[in-house]
Structure 1
Amino acid sequence: MLLGELSSTLIPEMVTIPAGVLLQKDDRKRERWTAQVQSFDTSKYLVTQALYASVLDERPSQFTGDDLPVDSVSWFDAVRFCNGLSERYGLKPYYLEHGDGLVDRCAISDGYRLLTDAEWEYACRAGSQGPRYGALEDIGWFAENSAGTPQAVGCKEPNEFGLYDMLGNVWEWCWDLYDPAVYGEYRVFKGGGWADDERGCLVTNRRRSHPTFRVEDLGFRVARSIK
C-alpha cells in the first residue's frame, strides 16, 4: 500500500498472525515464562494521525503529519480509539469503560483492541530468535537515523509477518498491567522509539507507565481476536 493510500483509506490493514509459543523474560524482575499465543489479527502499520483524527476528531500529536504515527496518546486514549473504530464499522466494542476509570474486556466482542504483551512480542519476533528481527538501520527509526522526529509509517523493511515499525518510530501501548503488586495501574509499552539508542529498540524491552501518561514517542497499533 502506498502511503497516500494509507491516509485516504482510514481503515487499518490487518495481518493474521498464526498461533504459537513464546518464551518471555523480564530482566528487571529476573523472571522467565512461557506464553501460549492464539492466532489473531493485527494492523500492518502503527495507527496514524490521520486514522486517529478520523475516529476521535482529535490531533494530540506533538509532530504533525497524516502518515506519521499518532503520538502523545495515553493508554486510555488508545482504548477509546479502539472502541470508536469498532463502532465505526459496526463491531461490538471490545472494552467496557467504567466511570471510575476501570476498563474491562468483553469476551464476546469482535471489535478492535490493543495487543497483549505476549502477542506484541510474538508478532514482533515473527519467528526470529535474536534481539531484533533484522538490522536496526533497515527496520526501524531510532536516535541515529530519525533526525529527532517520528517518521512516516511503513518506510522501513517489515518483519517476516509483514508488520512495519515494530521496533523504533514510537513505542506501543499494550493491554497488560506491568506489575500490579509494585506499580499498581501501570501498563506495558514496547518496541522503542525515534529518540532511543540501539539498546532501547529490542524485542524484549518492556517499559511501563500510568495509563494517563502521554509522551511524544508513544503510540500504538490495533488487533482483533479471531473467533
Structure 2
Amino acid sequence: MRRIIILIVALFPLFTFGQGKITRPNKSVSHGKIPQKSQTEQVNDALQNYEDSIAKLPRKEEYINSILVRWRADITEAQKEAIAAIINNLIDIEGGTFIMGSDKKDHYWDYAGNRYYIDSPSHSERAKSFKLSKYEMTQKIWEAIMENNPSRYWGDAFPVTNVSWNDCQLFINKIRQMSDVEFRLPTEVEWDYVANKNLPHYSEYVDYIKKTEWVSYGADKMPHAVGTKECNSFGVYDIIGNVREWTSDHASLDYNHPRSLYNYVVRGNAYNSWSPEYFRYDFNPSERKDTLGFRIAL
C-alpha cells in the first residue's frame, strides 16, 4: 500500500502538467487593458476593409466611345453618367511635329500679379497621338464625382474653377478607381500642340480669338458655359480662353532648363485676360484661383 501511494505521488506531475509545456508570461508583455485604436484609425480600417471587399467584386464591363470601361461595383448612377460624359467628350488628337515657344526670354508679371514666363526658346517638338477632352471640366461633372463645388461663378455647364493641381489629382484618381480608365492631365507639349498648331497669321489672330475664346473683351469678367464659341482646328473648345488650365508637367525657367521646379505649368488665358496671347504660368500645386480649371486627357 505504501508503494502505491509513493507511485501516485511520483506520477502526479505527469497527469497535471504533461498535457503541454507550461510557458511563463514574458515580462515585457503588459497585462493591463488592450490599447484601443483611435476613431480615425478605426474609420481608416473600415474604409480599407470596404475597399478590399469592393476590389474583389466583379466589375461590369462595357465600351464607351471605343474605350473599355470596367465599372466599380459601388458606383452611383450620377457618377456613372458623369464619367460616361467625360469619355464621350474625348476626341482623338493625331500627333505631329510643331514649333513650340518663342525667342523671348524675360519673365513678367500680369496685371493680377501672376508670374508667367514667355515660353522660350522656340524649338521643334513632337506630340504623340492621344485623346483630349474637347471641353474644360464642367461643374456638373465635378459635383457628381466630388460632391462639392468650389467655383465662384456657378453654372452646370460652366468650367469648374478654384481647383488646385492636387484637387485635380484627387478627382482623376476617383474616376480611375470607378472606371478603371487611366485618365490624366495633358502634358504641356500636348496642350501647346492643340492650342498652337494651325493658328492663323497675326493679322487674323485677334479676330480668330474673338470667335473662339472667352477673354477680357466680351467675357464680362466671368467664365461662360463651355463650348459656346467656335472650336479650333482639332475640334477643341476654349483651349486658349475661358479659364487657364493645369498640365501634368513641373515648371521650368524655360525650355532649356530641366523641369525641376516644385510648381506645375499652367497654360492659356482666362475670362479676365487682358491679352489675346496665351502665356506660360507656374503655380504651386495647392494653389486655387477663380481663373484656374482643367481638362482631361487619355
- TM band (smaller chain): 0.7 to 0.9
Which residue does 2:284 correspond to in 1? 210
For the residue of structure 2 that corresponds to 1:172, the secondary structure is: strand
Percent identical pairs in the alignment equals 28
Q: 1:28 to 1:9 in 2, by over 3 A?
A: farther
Q: Is contact 2:150–2:162 with CA below 8 Å preserved after alignment? A: yes
Is the counterpart of residue 22 in structure 1 residue 98 in structure 2? yes
Separation in structure 2 between the aligned mates of residue 9 and residue 162 of structure 1, nearest angstrom:
23
Alignment of 1:141-152 (within 5 A): 141-152=214-225
Q: Is contact 2:185–2:247 with CA below 8 Å preserved after alignment? A: yes
For the residue of structure 2 that corresponds to 1:188, the secondary structure is: strand
Q: Is contact 2:226–2:238 with CA below 8 Å preserved after alignment? A: yes
Is the counterpart of residue 191 in structure 1 residue 279 in structure 2? no
Which residue does 1:108 correspond to in 2? none
> Any idea what the Cα deviations from partners look like across 1:100-119, whole Å, max 9, x if unmatched?
xxxxxxxxxxx110011110
Q: 1:116 to 1:167 in 2, by over 3 A?
A: same
Which residue does 1:83 correspond to in 2? 173
Separation in structure 1 between the aligned mates of residue 280 and residue 266 of structure 2, nearest angstrom:
6
Separation in structure 1 between the aligned mates of residue 212 and residue 200 of structure 2, nearest angstrom:
16
Q: How many Å apart are 1:177 and its aligned residue? A: 1.1
Q: How many Å apart are 1:125 and its aligned residue? A: 2.9
Q: What are structure 1's unaligned runs of at least 5 residues?
A: 1-7, 92-110
> Relative contact order (alpha carbons < 8 A, sep ≥ 6): 1 or 2 greater?
1
Q: Is contact 1:125–1:133 with CA below 8 Å preserved after alignment? A: no
> Which aligned runs of 4 or more in structure 1 are off by greater than 6 angstroms?
180-183
Q: Is contact 1:117–1:174 with CA below 8 Å preserved after alignment? A: yes
Q: TM-score, normalised by structure 1?
A: 0.79
Which residue does 1:177 correspond to in 2? 250
Is the counterpart of residue 62 in structure 1 residue 152 in structure 2? yes
Which residue does 2:139 correspond to in 1? 49
Which residue does 1:135 correspond to in 2? 208
Which residue does 2:49 correspond to in 1? none
Q: TM-score, normalised by structure 2?
A: 0.61
Count matched residues: 195
> Any idea what the Cα deviations from partners look like across 1:67-95, whole Å, max 9, x if unmatched?
1000010011111111212222232xxxx
Q: Is contact 1:43–1:222 with CA below 8 Å preserved after alignment? A: yes
For the residue of structure 2 that corresponds to 1:124, the secondary structure is: helix
Separation in structure 2 between the aligned mates of residue 185 and residue 130 of structure 1, nearest angstrom:
35
Q: What are structure 2's unaligned runs of at least 5 residues?
A: 1-79, 107-119
Which residue does 1:219 correspond to in 2? 293
Q: Is contact 1:133–1:159 with CA below 8 Å preserved after alignment? A: no
Q: How many Å apart are 1:147 and its aligned residue? A: 1.0
Separation in structure 1 between the aligned mates of residue 249 and residue 105 of structure 2, nearest angstrom:
17
Bigger strand share: 1
